[in-house]
Structure 1
Amino acid sequence: MRLCLVTDSLGSLSFEDMIDTSASLGYESLEFACGNWSNAPHIEIDELLESSIEREKFVNSIISKGLGIEALNCSGNQLAPNEEGKAHQIVVEKTFRLAELLGIKKIVMMSGLPGGGPEDKSPNWITTSWPPETTEILNWQWNEKAFPYWEKTVKKAKEHGIEKIALENHGCQLVYNPATLFKLRNQIGEMIGMNLDPSHLFWMGGDPILAARHLGGAIYHIHAKDVRVERGLVGTDGLLDTKTTDLFTERSWNFAALGYGHDTLWWSEFFSIVNMIGYDGPISLENEDQTMDQLTAVTKSTKLLKNTLPRVFA
């Protein structure tokens, strides 16, 4: 397993400062966000698509620091039944094209979430089987939207030389846990795997270690991100919390730097388990802790990674 950084984790830094900092912290590869839910602070996708000179300059800047490009990330909701969905799909297609030009074989993204029917203009996340119409909505989303979309998308990805698409188990998406990942994978094929992000399973009440055991070889990527369930708040209101993430003093859970939600022992067990089941890919730090500045959170998280990954660092 190698140390990777989601570059948005240092989104406040310039491209040059980000790669310098990543190298100095001991990272070995980078995961670049190309747009959609990210403002893509470190990549100009149109410029890179249009100019071989800019692509060469981009790659050489990274290689010169001893880093590699691990994956491109275009996370968004390309299945949204509105203009945002159309815009997100454009970024997905550009990301596939850029991956081919850069020789990148893995894309990290979301499964997407459609509306609840042909006339809907907003996505609709179904999380219960009652009342009865929820099941009808969910079946329509999968059969009429998700399966056809992903059949086409996997075919397009193969045309661009992409070998793996790692879908993040994110809430408000059709794929948000192992069961929904396998529902899509069993229909579409093994191009589709999981970007296992423990943080989302934490806030949905799951156990990432058990999820990892169940997923096995379907794990294509891992985001190292933590969640702290807030004492005194979760017991009153539960884990379903619609307060925005900047209101961290009021929320029942918050994204946290590694070790500030779950301790070193938990992360040691998690990495030991994924290593034991055969995962040897990147551990990609994704920092979204809003309670401390970015560099502090990334530095603290990096220290935990080096102490818990089952390998020796120089």
Structure 2
Amino acid sequence: MKLGVFTVLFSNKSFHDMLQFVSSKGIEAIELGTGGYPGDAHCSIDTLLGDRSALNQFKQDINSHGLIVSALSCHSNHLHPQKAISEPADILLNKTMELAAELEIPVVNTFSGCPGDHENALYPNWPVAPWPHDFQEVLKWQWEEKIIPYWSKKNERAVELGVKIGLELHGGFSVHTPATMLKLREHCGSAIGANLDPSHMWWQGIDPVEAIKILGRENAIFHFHAKDTIIDQQNVNRNGITDMTDYSKMQNRSWNFRTVGYGHDTKTWADMISALRLYGYDYVVSIEHEDGLMSVEEGFSKAAANLKPLLFSEPAAEMWWA
């Protein structure tokens, strides 16, 4: 396994300064944003696709720091009912897959998106209750008319390009649980899998180790984010888990994102790392920082320090004892 980082954390640093900084901290892999919600501070997709010399220099700069690129990330809502939002997101995803193929980067990370509830909707609709039955009708329409047709085409394109699409299972988007991930793969194809982030499992009440088992059995984990979550039961009792309290109001929220080790203990993270290897994922663990109690550099440094002793650096030995 390799320790990585989602470099959106360091968008205030130049590309070269970012490479120097993360490599000095023992990072082995970087995940780069190409636009959308993460921005494109370190990866100008149009420049790289349009200039072969710039592309070659880009690769050389990364290689010279002893780094690999684990994934390109373009998190957006490709299914947003407003075309002014969905169409640029779709174009960005297509370009990101093309760039990943050019650079031989195996994974493109994004969200599944979330449609509206009819053709003339203005905003996404995220059904999370089976009754009243209106919600079931909305969900059926979304999957049959929007989600499956869109992602079937993207699966075909990913196969053509030889890349994989890692969807982050995130609340507010149509694919947000192991079940919805497997449903999408069943209908659209196996070039689509999960960019699994345990922080989003915890706040939904899902045990990340069990999520790893469910998805790992289907070879459906393509990338892994390292971010923690803490649950405030007193606020859960008041707000529930689908808490709309602003992220900045941490004292009043049911749950908050934390740096690795500040929501769950080392044993919990060791169990996840072990489950990843047990179920076939031996790739990159990519640090993501969204902890409102720490600076970016302190949160990143603490996450790296907590994860390094847990990652497997050597292949498993033969069972000499049995």
For the aligned pair, the TM-score class normalised by the smaller chain equals over 0.9
Partner of residue 54, structure 2: 54
Aligned partner letter, 1:156: R
3-state SS in 2 of match to 1:114 = coil
Contact 2:169 2:195 in 1 (8 A): yes
Contact 2:38 2:73 in 1 (8 A): no
Cα deviation for residue 244 of structure 1 reads: 2.3
Partner of residue 104, structure 2: 103
Partner of residue 28, structure 1: 28
Q: Distance in 2 between matches of 1:186 and 1:106?
A: 19
Q: Which runs of no fewer than 5 residues in structure 1 stay unpaired?
A: none
Per-residue Cα deviation, 1:136-188 (whole angstroms, up to 9, x for no partner): 110010011111101111122223332x1111111111110110011010111
Q: Distance in 2 between matches of 1:288 and 1:182?
A: 27
Cα deviation for residue 60 of structure 1 reads: 1.2
Aligned partner letter, 1:266: T
Q: Distance in 2 between matches of 1:50 and 1:296?
A: 37
Partner of residue 279, structure 2: 277
Contact 2:107 2:223 in 1 (8 A): no
Percentage identity across aligned positions?
Answer: 39
2:133 pairs with 1:137: no
Partner of residue 267, structure 1: 269
Cα deviation for residue 68 of structure 1 reads: 1.0
* Aligned partner (choices 242, 248, 251) of residue 249 of structure 1: 251
Partner of residue 188, structure 1: 188
Query: Number of residues paired by the alignment?
Result: 311
Most deviating of 229-238 and 216-225: 229-238
Q: Distance in 2 between matches of 1:151 and 1:214?
A: 22
Q: Distance in 2 between matches of 1:251 and 1:12?
A: 28
RMSD after superposition: 1.4
2:313 pairs with 1:311: yes
Cα deviation for residue 249 of structure 1 reads: 3.1
3-state SS in 1 of match to 2:251 = coil
Q: Distance in 1 between matches of 2:233 and 2:99?
A: 44
Q: Which runs of no fewer than 5 residues in structure 2 stay unpaired?
A: 315-322
Aligned partner letter, 1:219: I
Q: Distance in 1 between matches of 2:235 and 2:248?
A: 16
Partner of residue 118, structure 1: 119
2:172 pairs with 1:153: no
Q: Distance in 2 between matches of 1:193 and 1:18?
A: 29
Aligned partner letter, 1:146: I
Partner of residue 15, structure 1: 15
Contact 2:291 2:299 in 1 (8 A): yes
4+ residue runs of structure 1 moved beyond 3 angstroms? none
Q: Distance in 2 between matches of 1:92 and 1:10?
A: 22
Contact 2:232 2:255 in 1 (8 A): yes
Per-residue Cα deviation, 1:214-254 (whole angstroms, up to 9, x for no partner): 11121111111111113542333222211222222332211
3-state SS in 2 of match to 1:107 = strand
Partner of residue 295, structure 2: 293
Cα deviation for residue 41 of structure 1 reads: 1.7
Most deviating of 77-86 and 271-280: 271-280
Cα deviation for residue 277 of structure 1 reads: 1.9
Most deviating of 291-300 and 93-102: 93-102
Partner of residue 86, structure 1: 87
Per-residue Cα deviation, 1:34-54 (whole angstroms, up to 9, x for no partner): 111112221111111211121
Q: Distance in 1 between matches of 2:188 and 2:78?
A: 17
Cα deviation for residue 122 of structure 1 reads: 0.8
Q: Distance in 2 between matches of 1:97 and 1:210?
A: 33
Aligned partner letter, 1:26: G
Partner of residue 207, structure 1: 207
Aligned partner letter, 1:237: N
